[in-house]
Amino acid sequence: MTPRLTRLLALVVPVVLCGTLAAVAPTYAGAARKASVDERRSVTVKWDAQKHRKRTKVYQKSADVPGIGSVDLVCQPKSTMIRLAANDRDNETQMWLAKFETKDGSNRVAVKNVRIYRYATAADDGTGGTGRRAHEGLNQKSPIEDYANGSAVGVISQRPGRDRNGGGTMSTPATAFKLSWYWERFAYPGYQFCKMKLTLLTNTDQQFGLSWHGNDEAATASTSTSDIAGFGQVDLTCEPGKNADQTVAFRPDVADSSLEYDLIQGEGSTDDPDVYDHVEGPDYDPVTGLVGPIDLPRNGMMRLEWTVGGVTKTWMLSSYMVVNNDAKPWLNVCEVAAAPLP
């Protein structure tokens, strides 16, 4: 097994985690953080039509997404998906995921952004948009293929709608997740098998993010600094302008610190560095006191593995920005969210 393939498997294979669900007071996009949330959740959909002919099959299971809504895991012979529901579609809600699977005999990855919104941009009149639910299908073909096996990692986040200011530093809880799916014999009724597993983590004390909508807001909200307990601080910079800074940097508590990250953009082969690129470094700079900065993707994801004092933690980051619309600067946006992976 090649080192690159080993790393890909480590990235996408979910970890079995259990946790007690706690009631969480609603937290709204753009408002000050109301409660600290630290929750791990795991749901599994599994059925075997051949072994359990007389047992009622459960095709769908759901999990809470604190402060945002809920997520459904669906596996039926005619429908395979992960589906997000938002409590309020006036906000801009996003579920980013990097899907890893085999297509045409090659290992491939695809970045997907599932959005729920009323206002597509600041120029939208609000009469369109999406419904309260949106999903990403997990099958490659229709009708659904007889056999499939894949994995994904992602992050769910929310900020005010694009008709309003983005709110600056992220205040609504963000949730990172790992997902795996496997089914077989779907072409043979009475013999089908399916197993899907979703593991989620919400930890508001270790998340970071930044959102602004329009250059007027960006004038006072293009940077944020988030405290990460036991690690240090994370500095985000997202300035409007083609040649401006859009970066993330890490300010560790101690000098013994380093970073590795995966940059994932678009769709294609995992051997294509323009689609999937693993970078070792940068290391700690004693002059600046930083690890980084590194550039954020304009429309993509990053897996950030930050080590401080021998302790390593991994975050999944989503990043979407339009920063060079000089003719209509009110349509520029920057939306960055990161949460620790389970």
pLDDT of residue 57: 79
Mean pLDDT of the 96-104 span: 94
pLDDT of residue 7: 54
Average pLDDT, the chain: 90
pLDDT of residue 11: 53
Span 59-87, pLDDT tens digits: 899 999 999 999 999 999 999 999 999 99
| The pLDDT of residue 32 is above 80 | no
Mean pLDDT of the 77-99 span: 96
Q: Which residue has the tokens 């408002």?
A: 31
DSSP state of 331: G
pLDDT of residue 8: 52
Which candidate, 204, 177, 209, places its Cα nearest to that of 22? Answer: 204
Confidence class of residue 5 from pLDDT cuts 50, 70 and 90? very low
Which candidate, 215, 211, 244, 234, places its Cα nearest to that of 319? Answer: 211
pLDDT of residue 25: 34
Straight-line distance from the first to the last Cα atom of the chain, in angstroms, rounded to the nearest whole number: 25
pLDDT of residue 92: 97
Six-digit token pair at 301?
């994801």
Distance CA 122, CA 125 (A): 8
Mean pLDDT of the 284-294 span: 96
pLDDT of residue 54: 74
- Is the bond preceding 3 in cis, omega lying within 30 degrees of 0? no
| The pLDDT of residue 9 is above 60 | no
| The pLDDT of residue 33 is above 50 | no
| The pLDDT of residue 266 is above 60 | yes
Span 176-230, pLDDT tens digits: 999 999 999 999 999 999 999 999 999 999 999 999 999 999 999 999 999 999 9
| The pLDDT of residue 19 is above 70 | no
pLDDT of residue 31: 41
Lowest mean pLDDT among 14-23, 39-48, 74-83, 329-338: 14-23
Mean pLDDT of the 297-309 span: 97
Q: In which region does residue 241 sit, left (phi positive, over 0), alpha (psi from -120 to 50) or beta (all else)? A: left
Q: Which pTM was predicted?
A: 0.89
Span 110-168, pLDDT tens digits: 999 999 999 999 999 999 899 999 999 999 998 899 999 999 999 999 999 999 999 99
- Is the bond preceding 342 in cis, omega lying within 30 degrees of 0? no
Query: Contact, 53 vs 191, CB < 8 A?
Result: no
DSSP state of 231: T
Confidence class of residue 260 from pLDDT cuts 50, 70 and 90? very high
pLDDT of residue 52: 77
Q: In which region does residue 104 sit, left (phi positive, over 0), alpha (psi from -120 to 50) or beta (all else)? A: left
Lowest mean pLDDT among 32-46, 137-151, 251-265: 32-46
Query: Contact, 301 vs 328, CB < 8 A?
Result: no
Mean pLDDT of the 15-24 span: 33
